[in-house]
Structure 1
C-alpha cells in the first residue's frame, strides 16, 4: 500500500518518544526506484506479507531469525524499545507479546502503508505501542531516549550514506548501557551451496546488499562511537548474522 495522504498518528494513550511529522514524509528516491515492488506498490503488502513467502526469501530461516531476536527480549521485557522499520511477518506481534506492563515499543517506518499493515496485525488497543512515520536516517527524538533499538534486515536495503546515517541515529537515541540489535545478511562460508543463488538475488533485486559480504556491519558505525560487541552469532552457514552492541558512553 502506498503512503496515504493522512499522517499516521501514534496509538492513543501512548505518547511516542519519536515526534510525528506534521505532513507526510516523501518516499526516498532509492526506495521508489529499487523497492517499489516490495514495499510501496498498492499490491506489495497484500502479496509479500505471507509467512511462506518470507520464509522462502530467507531460505527457511525466518522463524529461526525471529527467535534470535526474541532471545534479546525477556518475556517480561521492560523499558523503551525502538524498532526501526516495519518488518513483514509476525516479528512485531511477537515483540508485543513480550512487552511488560510498563514497557514501551515505538515502531517507525518511512511508509505509512507499512505502518498501517503492522497496525492491523497487532492486538489493539495497546497503550504501550506507538506507530509513527519517520525517516531512519533522521530520527525525530531526543538523544538517549531508548533502552534498546532493533533493526531487522534494514541496513542491507540502504545506500551506504543512508546506512551510515541510520546506524548513527540508532546509536544516538539509545542510552549509554543500552543495546542495538542488528539482524542482517552476512558473508557465507565459501562452501555454502546457496552462495551463488543468494548473490544472484542481490545483483538482480538488492544491489546494496553485497556490502554485507564485503564489510562487517561495524565498518558502518560512526568513527567516534564508543561501543562494545556483546555477541556476534551467525546462522545457516554464516549467511545471516545477529550482532548485539552495547553503547558504552
Structure 2
C-alpha cells in the first residue's frame, strides 16, 4: 500500500484532499452516483452489510444509513488514515462498526451472517494473489440467502475513448488494474462453479457490477 498507493490512501495530506464527492465524481468520469445506486439499491432496512474497504465521499455513510437501526453495517480497512476517516462518517450511527482488518482475512463476529458483502473499487488496487484471497474470503462468508457484489473497473470497449486515458493512467498509477481487463472476477475465485455470476457493464465497459449468489439447488 505504501509503495504503490501512498499518494492515494496513506499520506494524510492527499487523503484530506481526495475524500470529497467532487473528487470521486471526477475520477469516475461522472459515473459515481450511477455506480453507487447499483450497491445502495440492494440494501434494505435490517440487513447486515459488510463493506470490505473504505471509500472516499459519502458512500459508506449512505450505505450504513440504508441498513437502519435494525440492521448493521461493518466496514473494514487496513490503513489507519482510512479507518480514521471512516470513523468521522460512521461514529454517529450506533449500528455501524469500523474495524482495522484485511479484506482477505476478516471474519465476521460470532453469529454474524452478512446479507450483502460489497467490494467497491478495491480489487483493481491489489496484486492478483490478494484478489484471490479477497474474493475467496468474501464468497466464503456469504450465507445461502446472501449476495456478494463487486463494483470495479472492466475492459472498456475499443470505441470508448476513456479506454486510452485509462491505459495511460494504469501505466503510471494503477499497476494491478488491468488484470480486471484481462480476466473476469470469477477467475480469481478458487471454486467459481459453485456460484451464479451475473455481470452488468457500465459506461461502454469501463466499469462492471458483478453480483454473485449461491447456485439454487433444484
Pair 1:135-2:135 in alignment: no
**Structure 1 residues 224, 188: CA separation in 2 closer, same or farther (over 3 Å shift)?**
closer
Find 2:12's aligned residue among 36, 42, 48: 42
Q: Is the 8 Å Cα contact of residues 144 and 214 (structure 2) preserved in structure 1? A: yes
Of 108, 121, 125 in structure 2, the residue corresponding to residue 153 of structure 1 is 121
Task: Note if contact 2:139-2:148 (Cα within 8 Å) is conserved in structure 1.
Answer: yes
- Is 53-62 or 157-166 further displaced after alignment? 53-62
Give secondary structure in 1 for the equivalent of 2:33: helix
Runs (5+) with no aligned partner, structure 1: 1-30
Cα distance in 2 for partners of 1:66, 1:119 equals 20
The one of the two structures with greater contact order (alpha-carbon pairs below 8 A, sep at least 6) is 1
- The aligned residue for residue 228 of structure 1 is 196
User: What are structure 2's unaligned runs of at least 5 residues?
Assistant: none
Aligned to 2:173: 205
Q: 1:121 to 1:203 in 2, by over 3 A?
A: same
Task: Tell me which moved more, 135-144 or 58-67.
Answer: 135-144
Given that 1:171 and 1:247 are in contact with CA atoms closer than 8 Å, whether structure 2 keeps it comes out as no
The C-alpha deviation readout for 1:8-31, integer Å capped at 9, x for no partner, is xxxxxxxxxxxxxxxxxxxxxxx1
Flag as ranges the 4+ runs of structure 1 deviating above 2 A: 140-145
1:240 matches 2:207: yes
The one of 7, 13, 31 aligned to 1:61: 31
Cα distance between partner residues in 1 of 2:65 and 2:112: 25
What is the TM-score normalised by the length of structure 1?
Answer: 0.81
**TM-score, structure 2 as length reference:** 0.92
Instruction: Name the counterpart of 1:165.
Output: 133
Give me the CA root mean square deviation. Answer: 1.8
